[in-house]
Amino acid sequence: MTLIKRFAIFVVFSSFNFAASASNEALNPLIEQVESKVIEWRRYFHEHPELSNREFNTAKVIAKHLESLGIEVHTGIAHTGVVGILRGGKSGKVVALRADMDALPVYEKVDLPFASKVTSTYANQKVGVMHACGHDSHVAILMGVAEVLSKVKDTIPGTIKFIFQPAEEGVPEGEEGGAELMIKQGVLKSPDVDAIFGLHIKSTIPVGVIGYRPGGIMASVDDFRIRIHGKQVHGSRPWNGVDPIVVAAQIINSLQTIVSRQMPLTKQAAVVTIGSIHGGVRSNIIPAEVELIGTIRALDTGMRKSIHKKIHRTANLVAQSMGATVDIDLPMSSSYPVTYNAPALVQQMLPSMIAQAGEQNVKLINAVTGAEDFSFFAQKVPGFYFFLGAMPKGVKPQDAPAHHTPYFFIDESAMKLGVKTLSNMALDYLKQ
């Protein structure tokens, strides 16, 4: 391509985005008006969290709001999911905006007037329930976007789907749910979605900053279970049995060498973690069985497949060498692919994002080893998933309360930028 052609494309693209941003100025007063509502909704959902596949009240609140805006509403998708369809005044493409709805089995320890006091049952245990990952803010932001865009419906050249998704954190054992089930049930069809956008609030990115990355931005995840079968015996005579606890220790140590010694880490990151060990009831009884539960994260599909094979090989051969046997469930219950941002879509929408946050506040970030089932949507249609900073000013990232902890906390002023960015990105995409 000649320099002149490149310059011409740049001028056309830049001019279009300037025009698109200018034509969206009518959104600004609407965004100002809805900000207090977004904060109010977020606080309500934070105080009344619900676990995965159990987001019944959350869904009712969302559906009622969308119906009040005159948006076509579909409920009961993937159990509790809600989808709103806003058809613009002109024909055009279809863009989807997604927010996840579920909370986590965590007892909240943040001193807030709207802190969660909810308890429930998870994996047969009594647990606290807390929005410890910011899904309450995601729902509130998308409700705000729906209100803003519904008020300029006649000017929209296309259709916007608002997808409120249950069970992003993983479904209860034995159930289906989340993005994967929504797709199975046709959420990206009728009308067919051309592109999908999503955001995740981030407690360790400064408020006012947006983090993005083309290609893989979040890792794949596969949980797994290894059951080690030994031979029960009195603790004073281990030679008469097969000790699955010692076998478990050797397997855990050996699994750590898969990433540290067998993966090309200069290519991409990967993680193998054992998060739970169960076995035995007394100090003087060597049990017959030990169970290990863990997670695998990878940012490369080939490395992901390789880790799966090596876990099977390592666990089986270590157990065999010590006279034990193993059963391996991999994946056990959750298996998400890499969250992949379509590079062409990122390049197309980056000027829209910069127009809302300012060039100095839109930052290219490293991929993270957290995982997201937004990845299933992005496998089917081009997707763009980004992080919305919500760390209060003056706080250092290392001091910010982490996600999935009892102390998770965000600066609610971040949500206005979330509404502004998603609203404008949706319109700018349709206008292109």
Predicted TM-score (pTM) of this structure: 0.90
Please choose, from the candidates 208, 223, 310, the residue with its C-alpha nearest in 3D space to the C-alpha of residue 258: 310
421-429 average pLDDT score: 98
Backbone dihedral angles phi then psi of residue 83, each to the nearest 5 degrees: -130, 130
Whether the per-residue pLDDT at 19 is higher than 90: the answer is no
- 5 band by pLDDT with thresholds 50, 70 and 90: very low
Distances (CA, A) of 282 to 193, 278, 279, 362: 57, 12, 10, 56
- 12 band by pLDDT with thresholds 50, 70 and 90: very low
Extents of the domains making up the chain:
3-214+342-431, 220-335
Q: Which residues, in sequence order, are CB contacts of 3 under 8 Å at separation 6+?
A: none
CA distance 145 to 283: 58
Class of the CATH-defined domain 3-214+342-431: alpha beta
- Lowest model confidence (mean pLDDT) among 11-20, 37-46, 70-79, 407-416: 11-20
- 174 band by pLDDT with thresholds 50, 70 and 90: confident
**Contact criterion met (CB below 8 Å) for 230 and 384:** no
Q: Which CATH architecture has domain 220-335?
A: 2-Layer Sandwich (3.30)
Catalytic positions: 336, 412
Q: Which residues, in sequence order, are CB contacts of 307 under 8 Å at separation 6+?
A: 258, 259, 263, 270, 272, 296, 298
pLDDT digits (tens, 9 = 90+) for 88-134: 999 999 999 999 999 999 999 999 999 999 999 998 999 999 999 99
